Amino acid sequence: MVSLCRCGLLAWMLMLAGLGVAAPVVKAAQGSVNVAVISLADDARYAPRRLERAYAGHPQGRALDAARLAAEDSAVELETAGLTLKVREVLLSNAQALPKALEELKAAGVHHLVADLPVAEMSLLVRTAPAALEGAMVFNTGLDNDALRGDSCAAHLLHTFPSRQMLTDSLAQYLAARSWRKVLLLQGPLPGDQLQADAFNRSARRFGLKITQTRPFKLSGDPRERDLSNTRLLTGEREHDVVAVMDSDGEFARTLPYATQWPRPVVGSNGLMAAAWHPQWERNGGPQLSRRFQRLAKRPMQGQDWAAWAAVKAVAAGLVDEPNARIPQQLKRLRSGTVYLDGFKGPRLSFRPWDGQLRQPVFLSHIDGVVGLAPLEGVLHPTEVMDTLGVDEKESTCRARP
């Protein structure tokens, strides 16, 4: 197969003409599609102090760079379909600015939204965008909340970032495969910690792990609560193979590896983690994607970046597949699982019809590299092995369909 860059397309066609070979017909550009990347100016996830700390698994930059990279990567295939794709940024000062922003997007003919928002603002966008834009397709690129794929799902909401259940299922598969079945679970006091622990407990039951103890941790300046952050005391129970830490903030989890009472691996919010992407992935074109992103953004690609890149690639895949389809038809095709994209993870990827989640392998990794890929070899499913990660169709509470 001949690989063409956009800048060399004309030269290639002229060369074929000089050799007397008929060049393929390339359609003239017939339309421009705009994709809006919507984020919040004062999003706590991007506070300067938090970005400096660079907690494992947390975003380390805005989604805009990855969206622009995806537009560049899709330019040639879109051009052959007579289309161009442009990315525009919408930076909200607060949630109250959303209605005006949607008015401006409607005037610009924008219907594809890449959402990099906190939960409350994401929910507001999902509720209001379809009516405001007379049809909308919203991609969640940074939230792992299972509720957004369940009771709070929407027909026009698609998820390129893995769900929390997908991430904990990936870890549980790996622990079961290694026969590290006895797990000491450390859980923090935040609501996000509880949600992570709930998901991990479901994964443990699904893949045959035993939670030997669940112990609370807390970072506090109160001397009376000092023991709740003492890693040796918290891990003193000896009958476990591995320590799983559920820390949605990340500050306590980074203190835990190599600080346990007994020599045990740490998994979850630090140590061995489940991730949508890892910059040290060395297969399936991963190094090329990571390098292109590094050149553009001046930082390594993280899971949230990959999800924003995949969202724009999904838009492009749908347009190339059916250039004249309107938004309802595009949604139906994407949610039917018949439109595929290459995520540089190996198998081709598609969206689940029942909850709009992108099927995808999940990396099992530490800070320096990838040690495994879930679903693991030997894990079986009646129809699609990637559906062993996350909520399967029979378990789903999502009833929204496009």
pLDDT tens digits for 176-187?
Answer: 999 999 999 999
Residue 375 CB neighbour total at 10 angstroms: 20
> How many Cα atoms within 13 Å fall on the side-chain side of residue 173?
26
β-bridge partners, 88:
36
Tell me phi and psi for residue 113, to 5 degrees. Answer: -120, 120
Q: What share of the chain has pLDDT > 70, as a percent?
A: 93
Determine whether 96 is exposed, middle or buried from the number of CB atoms within 10 Å of its CB (0-12, 13-18, 19+): exposed
pLDDT of residue 321: 86
Euclidean distance between CA atoms 356 and 353, whole angstroms: 6
Rounded to an integer, the average pLDDT of 325-352 is 95
Domains of the chain: 31-162+278-379 (3.40.50.2300), 167-270 (3.40.50.2300)
Closest CA to 56 of 291, 263, 247: 247
Q: β-strand 369-374 against 362-366: which pairing, if any?
A: antiparallel
Contact between residue 368 and residue 350 where contact means Cβ atoms under 8 Å apart:
no
Among 283, 269, 227, CA closest to 366: 269
pLDDT digits (tens, 9 = 90+) for 90-127: 999 999 999 999 999 999 999 999 999 999 999 999 99
Contact in structure between 119 and 93 (CB atoms under 8 Å): no
- What pTM was estimated for this model as a whole? 0.91
Cα–Cα distance for residue pair 263/279, rounded to 1 Å = 28
Which comes out higher in pLDDT, residue 23 or 128?
128
Q: Are 91 and 105 in contact (CB under 8 A)?
A: no
pLDDT tens for each residue of 77-87: 999 999 999 99
Handedness of CA 189, 192, 194, 200 (dihedral sign): negative
Contact between residue 177 and residue 376 where contact means Cβ atoms under 8 Å apart: yes
pLDDT tens-place string over residues 127-146: 999 999 999 999 999 999 99
Distance in angstroms (rounded) separating the CA atoms of residues 50 and 37: 22
User: Locate tokens 């289309």: which residue?
Assistant: 83
Q: Report pLDDT for 30.
A: 57
303 token code pair: 């899971």
Strand order in the sheet with 137-140: 83-92, 31-40, 112-116, 137-140, 157-159
- The rounded distance, in Å, linking the Cα atoms of 257 and 207 is 24
Rounded CA-CA distance 229/223 in Å is 11
* pLDDT value for 402: 87
